[in-house]
Structure 1
């Protein structure tokens, strides 16, 4: 299998506190890999360091065999990596269509941009129906769809999704995870950070469990769902 992302001994420090204590993991092309763990485990810090939002204090990040450690965010995005942050971050004063067009600002390939726009509307019919509506007037679920749609418009080969189900009703959560599977089936690689460990393990190929900035377990997602220790700690099982 081809490794698309390799994180090696990554450390992130906030004000003298190590949020990440030298973690290492890989993501293979075409996989969905999930990072799970409690609040404050370092999941979001991992994504932010990969996408250049926060600096790596030590270690290296290799994407498509090129080192991207501490490169500016826009260069990392241009290289094919798109980060959908926690809280969605849609442009509230722009229309749905303008938000999607903004996602493609680093691209020149107009025919493919138009094709991707059609694909987004096909994948998210609600966005197609609301293309002239302002981003800020959408429901939480629709804003999450718009944020993911905007990432697709960047032409990225790999998506970093941070807590896509946060604050959404259970039915919408199901829909979002179905969409993540569908995006993955088009050939895009996904690194997913998610507090809803149960749902994340159902869609992922592999998982890494973080605890206080360290990876404490890694393995096949299906096997993790059946692991009694993980059930107890993360899945609300007994």
Structure 2
């Protein structure tokens, strides 16, 4: 990879220290992309950055920020919107978490944090990215949604449904102006996501689980094709298709609790 190609491609990845975000960082670095890694844990950010720099001719910045806080979100917005010294040419909105209890059992503060991270943060970062991407007539936005967005699945599913709808509309609106927007809708993925929720994985059939490397590889293929929605693997495409035809009460009863 030549220096000129590397310097023209800079991806900012949120939630970059583990799971899907870390795998996006690894695969993009392997393809010669320079990176800005965003997460709350500076030590884990530095560790991943060192891993990515080793043996690869890529540059890696780290930005420790909590996207639920206004100060943290402002800092990342500023970096995404900047056109100099280097502009972000791909934004990956990946940061997220889930809540274990049902809506009425969660505190309203926790529900607000969920909404802030899953909807407000990607909305504001996408808006910031579009300022410079549309001016350059080039750029890519990747929003990590979920198959839960296709089902009645509480506030998590509702938030991911927003991501899906927004990405569809944005891809239609901006692709002709040089900017593609893709929502990636995974199902169950082997990451820290369920562990952090303290939810058992035992009841999920083995065939439904994906590894992060496969998920990201398939997602990046769809991103390169400019697809508005990427549902990796045939098994989840079938599940999403059926969710659109079955009565919503039945879909809700068996709603997936995946990423």
Note whether the superposition's TM-score is higher than 0.5.
no
Normalising by structure 1, what TM-score?
0.37
Normalising by structure 2, what TM-score?
0.35
Higher relative contact order (CA 8 A, sep 6+): 1
Return the structure number with greater helix share: 2
Return the structure number with greater strand share: 1
